[in-house]
Amino acid sequence: MSSVAIKQTNKIHPHKFTLWVGIGSIVMMFAGLTSAYIVKRNQANWISYELPVAFYYSAVVIILSSLTLHFSAKAFKNREVGAYRKLMATTLLLGVLFIALQIIGFNNFWNEGMTLQASVSYSFLYVIVGLHAIHVIGGAVALIIMSVKSFSKKTKNYNIVPVDLICTYWHFVDLLWLYLLVFLIMIK
C-alpha cells in the first residue's frame, strides 16, 4: 500500500502538466514569430528602429518581480503569511508597472509614426511585443487573484500548487521578455 502512495506523489500535478503544455505552445508560437521576423527582415522594405527606453526599464521591473515572487513562494512554504502577503502584493505592483512601461513604449512608437500600417517591421514588432503583453496581463490577473486570496480571512489552505503555478508562469514570461528584448536588439 505504501508503494502505491509513493508512486502517486512522484507524479506531476495535472494543473502543472497543463501549464507546461501551455508554455510549450507559447514557446512554439514565439519561435515561429521570431523565425518569420528573421526571414522578413531581409526584404527590401524592412525599416530598422530603436526600441524605446521604457522597454529596457520594463526588463528590470520584470526581473525584480520574479525575485519578489520567488521570495513570496519561499515565505508561503515557510508559512510566513505576512511576508507572503507583502511580497505577493509587491509582485503584483511590479507586474502592473511592467504593463505600464510597455504601454509607454508603445505610445513612444505611435508618437514617432511607427504604426501598424507604416511598415511590415513595425507590424511584426507590435505583434510580438503585444502578444507577450497579453500573456503578462494574464499573469497579472493570476497575481491579482493570488494577492486577494492571500489577504482573505477565510480558512487558510496551504496548498502550494497555485503558488507553484503562478511562479512557473511568471518566471516564464520574465524569461520570454528577456529573450524577446535581446532578440529585438540583436536582430533589427
What is the reported pLDDT for 8?
A: 53
Banded model confidence at residue 140, pLDDT cuts 50, 70, 90? very high
Instruction: Report the 10 Å Cβ neighbour count for 47.
Output: 12
What is the reported pLDDT for 9?
A: 60
User: What cell was used for 19?
Assistant: 501549464
Q: What are the pLDDT digits (tens) for 141-181?
A: 999 999 888 888 775 677 889 999 999 999 999 999 999 99
Give this prediction's pTM: 0.86
Domain covering 14-42+50-186: architecture: Up-down Bundle (1.20)
What is the reported pLDDT for 5?
A: 47
Q: What are the pLDDT digits (tens) for 13-54?
A: 899 999 999 999 999 999 999 999 999 888 877 888 889 999
Give the Cα separation of 52 and 7 in Å (integer). Answer: 51
What is the reported pLDDT for 102?
A: 93
Q: What are the pLDDT digits (tens) for 105-133?
A: 989 988 887 776 667 888 888 899 989 99
| Domain map (residue ranges) of the chain | 14-42+50-186
Q: What number is the average pLDDT over the span 86-111?
A: 93
Q: Which residues contact 52 (CB under 8 A, 6 or more apart)?
A: 104, 105, 108, 109
Residues 125, 101, 66, 166: what is their CA dihedral angle, to the nearest 10 degrees? -80
With residues binned 3-state (H G I as helix, E B as strand, rest as coil), the percentages for the chain, rounded to 5, are 80, 0, 20
Decide: residue 44, CB within 10 A, 0-12 exposed, 13-18 middle, 19+ buried.
exposed
Q: What number is the average pLDDT over the span 74-91?
A: 94
